[in-house]
Amino acid sequence: MDYSNYFWQGDKVRLRPLRVDDAEQRFVESLDSPSRQSLQLGTELPTSTEMLREFLAKYADCKDVDGTIIFAVETHEGVDVGGISLHGRHMKNGTFSLGLTIGRPHRMKGYAEDAARILLRYCFHEQRYQKCNSACIHTNEASIKLHEKLGFLGEGRRRRHLFFNGQYYDSVLFGLTREEFDENDSR
């Protein structure tokens, strides 16, 4: 199939709807507790492939569930490498948030940046949002570097905002306006 002119494809990855059959891959990702904690999810209860199938059925096919849309991130070769969500959308204020995870074996290959740019382009250029608000845990250096690379500016810190592993963690707050994105976007 020729995806060369497809909006949802970047230089390294494409975004696609979640599918129920993604449950196996999502189960494997759920076994990486440190990564799940860095996503501000804390320590989750055990899950199963069956439970994940039910979850994915709710969000499959880009369904908007309580203001959240979740996409799978896959390489041009069709390898599922993670997920990205669009949430926290406020039409009146023109703001939104995104969340992103790339599986441990696929990190440091530019997939996260490419996926984020695709979703940011969609929100700014197709949905007319004017600002993306984001946050990450203060120990997630890869996420902090990614935000900076995408052009986000630091907007503050919520001290002792998250609790897991018997300790409190700060949330680092970021913001990116459409103008800042356009100035930084490589396309």
Q: Model confidence at 42, in pLDDT bands (50, 70, 90)?
A: low
Among 140, 162, 142, 134, residue whose Cα is nearest residue 43: 162
Average pLDDT, the chain: 91
Distance between CA atoms of residues 31 and 36, nearest Å: 8
| CATH code at 13-184 | 3.40.630.30
Q: Model confidence at 91, in pLDDT bands (50, 70, 90)?
A: very high
* pLDDT tens digits, 48-75: 889 889 989 999 999 999 999 999 999 9
Is the confidence at residue 39, as pLDDT, over 70? no
Where do the domains of the chain lie? 13-184
The pLDDT assigned to 126 comes to 97
The pLDDT assigned to 87 comes to 97
Amino acid type, 124: F
Is the confidence at residue 133, as pLDDT, over 60? yes
Q: What is the pTM of this model?
A: 0.90
Strand ordering across the sheet containing 13-17? 13-17, 69-75, 80-90, 95-102, 131-137, 167-177, 153-164
